[in-house]
Structure 1
Amino acid sequence: MVLDTMSRTVVLGVIGSDAHVVGITILEQALSAAGFTVVNLGVQTSQAEFAEAAVAHDAEAVLVSSLYGHAEQDCQGFHRVLEDAGVDAVTYIGGNLAVGQDDFEHTRRQFRELGFDRVFDSETDPEEAIAALREDLRISPPESERATISS
């Protein structure tokens, strides 16, 4: 069996007018340590900038962060923009996605309906997102993790 150890490119950024940078900084470090090539667009990123970066870097995943509670507004039409640009990538969103977010399952459904493949709350550990990426991109975990998993 041939293992897929090739580095995969992901585009990461904070969408819309949101200026919260700590979450994507932590995620960038975790993704890089896990072997991903990360294109970090930073904060206050437009939908078009995500699409342009995904095309320019042939990204296999687009990860959107939002902490200020207005992600639904910022993400309206996002997948159309990606599609129009020819982006074929898995899409994740995470953070504090809605003001007064009490029922996260409702929020998760909303963002799945907007086209996101995975939706995470602000308490999600980066390792959970990395495990999901490996699953969605069919990447075998590193040998050190396989040994831990099988123990």
Structure 2
Amino acid sequence: MEKNGKKVVIGVIGSDCHAVGNKIIDHVLAKQGFDVVNIGVLSPQEDFINAAVETNADAIIVSSLYGHGELDCQGMREKCQEAGLKDITLYVGGNIVVGKQTWEDVEKRFESMGFDRVYAPGTPIEITAKDLKKDLSIAE
């Protein structure tokens, strides 16, 4: 597929080392025309932000599968703003909390932390790619 001109930073946040899903996300987004900057696993917020600043990225997609995404993502929007990324599109998805919680409550908490979209466990990356095209004003 032809490149759409949009850069997306992806990675797995915190002490999470789930690499397979990250590679799938990279592959699907690249096939959808995105220029993917994959920072890999075990990545702190600063790595996402630095990569976004260095590459002039349009979006950051944070993955977390080990359940501690809520802790790992706190303050990320504020750090993006401090780094000059005031309008960056910020997504998060995966198994982002520990324990049984209603998805509506989880989604609201992450939205209140400044994430534009929050994806439940098992959400196909194709849905995220479609949302990203919409949010970044890319014609289908």
Q: Give the shorter-chain TM-score range.
A: over 0.9
Is 1:101–1:107's contact at 8 Å kept on the other side of the alignment? no
Q: Which stretch of structure 1 is more off in the superposition, 109-118 or 93-102?
A: 93-102
Equivalent in the alignment of 2:104: 105
For the residues of structure 2 that align with 1:64 and 1:107, how far apart are their CA atoms?
A: 15
Equivalent in the alignment of 1:146: none
Deviation per CA, 1:98-144, whole angstroms, max 9, x where unpaired?
11244111111110011000000121011100110010001001xxx
Count of equivalent residues: 137
Q: Which stretch of structure 1 is more off in the superposition, 57-66 or 81-90?
A: 81-90
Q: 2:7 aligns with which of 6, 9, 24?
A: 9
The runs of 5 or more residues in structure 2 that have no matched partner are: none
Structure 1 letter corresponding to 2:83: A
Secondary structure of the corresponding residue to residue 55 of structure 1:
helix
Equivalent in the alignment of 1:120: 119
Structure 2 letter corresponding to 1:78: M
2:92 matches 1:93: yes
Structure 2 letter corresponding to 1:32: A
Query: What's the Cα RMSD here?
Result: 1.1
Within a 5 Å distance, the mapping from 1:55-66 to structure 2 comes to 55-66=53-64
Secondary structure of the corresponding residue to residue 68 of structure 1:
coil
Give me the TM-score of the superposition, normalised by structure 2: 0.94
Moved over 3 A (4+): none
Query: Which one has a bigger Cα radius of gyration?
Result: 1
Within a 5 Å distance, the mapping from 1:1-151 to structure 2 comes to 6-87=4-85, 88-141=87-140
Give me the TM-score of the superposition, normalised by structure 1: 0.87
